[in-house]
Amino acid sequence: MMKIKKNFLILSIVAVVMLSISGLIAYCYWGLPTRIELKNNSIDENSNHIILKNSRLLWDTGASGSVLFEDFSQDKTLLGLSIISDYSYKFKIKKMFFTHNITIGNIVIRNFIYTKIDTEKAESILMATDDSGILGMNVIGNYNWLLDFEENILQNFDKTYKYNDLPALVLKYTSKRYPFSTIQIDKIRIKKILIDSGFNTDIRLLKSDIDEINKNITPDTIIEGSSNSLFSDSIPHREYIYTNIKINNVVFDSISIIESNRPLIGIGFFRKFDRVFWDSGNREVRFYRD
């Protein structure tokens, strides 16, 4: 009888601890919304990615959470463990932290939840980077954003801010943390494609979708290549180059589509336009040509 009571007591303590940790994480997520102040709006003109120039933070709409690759002398609280998956479905378990205030270069972030990844023990793609971290949708989703590739700047606004220029193309999504959308390439409709500014590519699709496209459109070039993800190097792929291809009734001079296990729209697609307005308030992305 004593053994049963002892076991019950241990289980009760464990349950209370788990509930306390869950409550703390929930409070940090929803009770303390993350705020960010960009004192320098410049993005790196030498990178195809959207990297805030002074802080070296990657603006990544394909990441549901944020990541830091180093510490910045900030006070922090350990929230628990975070399971991180990269593009190739490779998983890592890392520590997740909360900080009330952190300054990275000319950027100030308040009420910030992030996962810490040690680049010294990571794959070569991380060991070679000089980026300080990744701003994911837990931060991006709290604001509206204007990307201006002519001026090389990234600005954030309150989610009620309106940008009313007439866009060339609009993509809608429904989830705050996972911006999946639908596009149409020629006559082929692609559902649940992730709008992922962190990937250095135009478009990635399943091979079956590319085969359907190729029934109607012949690619001008096919290239055998490889790509990297957060935890994986040299993943082989096949790349198809199309010219004068129509996507959502917009004609593109050239588009690259890569075979993939995850359909996504990358930063190369963003850069086919002069400006992009990320409207978190209305959950849509608007692309502009001057």
Instruction: Give the per-residue pLDDT at 131.
Output: 87
254 pLDDT band, cuts 50/70/90, is very high
Q: How far apart are CA 50 and CA 171, in angstroms?
A: 19
Q: How, if at all, do strands 66-68 and 107-116 pair? A: parallel
The pTM score is: 0.85
194 inside domain: yes
- pLDDT above 70 (res 13): no
- What is the pLDDT confidence band of residue 228, given thresholds at 50, 70 and 90? low
- With respect to residue 119, please indicate whether it lies within any of the assigned structural domains: yes
Least confident of 22-26, 145-149, 152-156, 170-174: 22-26
pLDDT at 19: 36
3 has pLDDT over 50: no
Task: Please enumerate in sequence order all residues whose Cβ is within 8 A of that of 52, keeping only pairs 6 or more positions apart, or say none.
Answer: 38, 40, 42, 43, 44, 59, 105, 107, 135, 154
CB contact at 8 A, 96 and 169: no
pLDDT given at position 162: 92
CA 243 to chain centre: 27
Residue listed under structure tokens 């992922």: 196
pLDDT band with cut points at 50, 70 and 90 for residue 26: very low
Query: Do 130 and 54 share a domain, yes or no?
Result: yes
- Whether 6 has a pLDDT exceeding 90, the answer reads no
Of 268, 234, 211, the residue nearest 88 (C-alpha): 234
134 and 36 inside one domain: yes
Instruction: Give the pLDDT band of residue 23 (cuts 50, 70, 90).
Output: very low
Average pLDDT over residues 221-236: 75
Considering the domain architecture, whether residues 98 and 133 belong to the same structural domain is answered as yes
Number of domains the chain is built from: 2
* CA 255 – CA 183 distance, rounded (Å): 14
Domain assignment present for 152: no
Query: Tokens representing 167?
Result: 């866009």
Same domain membership, residue 175 and residue 135: no
**CATH code of the domain covering residue 182:** 2.40.70.10
What SS3 state is found at 138?
helix
- Name 47's Cβ contacts closer than 8 Å, sequence gap at least 6: none
Of residues 5 and 185, more confidence is placed in: 185
Cβ atoms of residues 123 and 233 within 8 Å = yes
Judge whether 96 lies within some domain: yes
What is the reported pLDDT for 25?
A: 52
Identify whether 61 is part of a domain.
Answer: yes
Q: What is the amino acid identity at position 129?
A: T
Per-residue tokens: 40: 């320098």
What does residue 32 show for φ and ψ, rounded to 5 degrees?
-125, 80
Is 94 in the same domain as 180? no
Domain-embedded: residue 233: yes
Tokens of 144: 């509206």
Compute the mean pLDDT over every residue in the chain, rounded to the nearest whole number: 85
Q: Which domain holds residue 71?
A: 32-142
Whether 90 shows a pLDDT value over 80: the answer reads: no
For residue 9, the model assigns a pLDDT of: 40
Residues 129 and 182 in one domain: no
In terms of domains, do 206 and 107 share one?
A: no
Same-domain check for residues 115 and 208: no
The answer to whether position 283 is within a domain reads: no
Query: Is 133 found in the same domain as 75?
Result: yes
Q: What is the percent of the chain where pLDDT is above 70?
A: 81
Q: pLDDT at residue 12 above 80?
A: no
Residue 72 — very low, low, confident or very high, per pLDDT cuts 50/70/90?
confident
Half-sphere exposure of 66 (CA within 13 A, CB side): 26
pLDDT confidence of residue 73: 80
Which amino acid does the sequence have at 68?
L
pLDDT tens-place string over residues 110-153: 999 999 988 655 554 444 467 899 999 999 999 999 999 999 99
- Per the CB < 8 A criterion, the answer to whether 239 and 223 are in contact is yes
Distance of CA 174 to the CA centre of its chain: 15
Q: Which of 18-22, 200-204, 215-219 has the lowest mean pLDDT?
A: 18-22
Q: Are residues 261 and 223 in the same domain?
A: yes
Helices (H), the chain: 2-26, 124-127, 137-140, 207-216, 267-270
What integer is the mean pLDDT of 157-184? 95
Q: What share of the chain is helix, strand, coil (3-state, %, to 5)?
A: 20, 40, 40
Q: Band of the pLDDT at 8, cuts 50, 70, 90?
A: very low
**Is residue 135 located within the same domain as residue 45?**
yes
Structure tokens at 110: 């308040």
Same domain? 197 vs 235: yes
Is 281 contained in some domain?
no
- Pick the last residue of a domain from 127, 142, 157: 142
Average pLDDT rounded to a whole number, residues 20-27: 44
